[in-house]
Amino acid sequence: MLQQNTHLIISTSTDLLRIDYRHILYIQSDGNYCSLFQVGGVMRLVTYQLGQVEKMIAAQLSDNAKNFVRIGRSLIVNINYVYYISVAKQQLTLCDNHQATYSLNPSREALVALKTLIEEEMKH
C-alpha cells in the first residue's frame, strides 16, 4: 500500500513522475515548463507551469506541503535543504544529503522573505 501524503505525483498523458517530497530540492520555472531538481543531482523537466506544480504540492502533500516555499516568481524550494542565505550577495545555497550544493540567485526581496520565514520558524 502506498504511503499517503509523502509523494508528489505529476502525471501527463504520456508520463507519470512519483517522487518522495523529501527528495525534491527545488523546482524552477522554465516558461511553460518546470525543472524539478532532486537529491543526487537528478533533474526532471515537467510540462506544467510553476503555479500548477505549487497547487499539486498543496493538494497532494497535505501537512508536508509546509516544507515547500515559493520564492519569487520562479522558484519553489524545500526549506529542509536551505544551507546559506546571503541577502547582500543575492545568493541562496541548498545542500543535499550527498554534500552537493546548489547555488541559486533569487531576488533580494524573495531572500529577505525566506530568511524571515526561517527565523520565525526557529522561534517556535
Mean pLDDT of 57-83: 96
Q: Which domains does the chain have, with CATH numbers?
A: 7-123 (2.40.50.1020)
For 92-117, the pLDDT digits (tens) are 999 987 778 999 999 999 999 999 99
Confidence of residue 4 (pLDDT cuts 50, 70, 90): low
DSSP codes of every residue in 68-94: EEEETTTEEEEGGGEEEEETTTTEEEE
Beta strand pairing call for 24-30 and 33-38: antiparallel
* Residue 99 phi, psi dihedral angles, 5° rounding: 65, 15
Q: What gap in Å lies between CA 94 and CA 62, rounded to an integer?
A: 23
Per the prediction, the chain carries an average pLDDT of 93
Q: What is the pLDDT of residue 1?
A: 46
CA distance 84 to 16: 33
